[in-house]
A = this chain, B = another copy of it.
Amino acid sequence: MPGAIEFFFDFSSPYGFVASTLIDQIAERHGREIEWRPFLIGAVYKEHGGVPLEHPLKREYAIKDFLRTGRFNGLTDMQLPANFPASPVPPSRVFYWIEGQDKAKAAEFAKAAYRKYWIDGRDTADPLVAVGVAQGLGYAPEDVMAGAQDDAVKGRLRQETGDAMARGVFGSPYIIVDEEPFWGGDRLAHLDRWLETGGF
């Protein structure tokens, strides 16, 4: 069986969100599984020193580009959340708590939490909002709340972030398949052709 598409993303990442709406069909077309791997991009910026959007000019352009990229891909109702960039920690912990029980549900949670933030504009950094997304998938809020605060889950997120960085991940989304890396939602067409042709 061919290797999975490793999809590294940060829950505050606009291009991660857009890619999350497109990656399933690419994976299906080529018979690949997706490993959803939320991590904390802030840890990367701390290590590499490259905080993005520092300059007002780039920030203004970036915000325009986020939404235009969404519209380009059919997400006409994508909006900039009021609290952008929100902490990705709460939804990431909920993700790994769910993943410990059910990988498919965790992938569903990832897509739903992204939509909650980038389409509905809700503050997914608020643990109650992240928990509410899980509730929508059938989990009892008190279980999710307790699970997300479990030391094992917290440690798991730290470990996943460290592992992503050890793999060379420095942005979101960052996709690795058959050891070939693709950084950015705008490389999905390259990924698609790579899977189609076996490398180019």
Contacts and interface: CB of A to CB of B under 8 A. Distances in A.
A181 interface: yes
Contacts of A29: none
A30 interface: no
Interface residues of A, number: 25
A55 B48 contact: yes
A58 B48 contact: yes
Which secondary structure characterizes the binding site on chain A?
A: helix
A62 to B, nearest CB: 9
Given A68-B200, A190-B68, A190-B69, A50 B61 contact: no
Contact of A50 (B55, B181, B200): B55
Contacts of A49: 54-55
The residue among A68, A187, A200 with the most chain B CB atoms within 10 A of its own CB is A68
A96 interface: no
Interface in A50-78: 50, 54-55, 57-58, 61, 64-65, 68-69, 71-72
Identical chains bound together, number:
2
B181 A64 contact: yes
A200 B61 contact: no
A193 interface: yes
B55 A193 contact: no
A112 B129 CA distance: 55
B48 A193 contact: no
Given A55-B48, A55-B50, A170-B58, A186 B186 contact: yes
A54 B50 CA distance: 9
Contacts of A50: 50, 54-55, 58
A48 B72 CA distance: 29
Given A48-B55, A50-B54, A61-B183, 4 more contacts: A49-B55, A50-B50, A57-B168, A72-B189
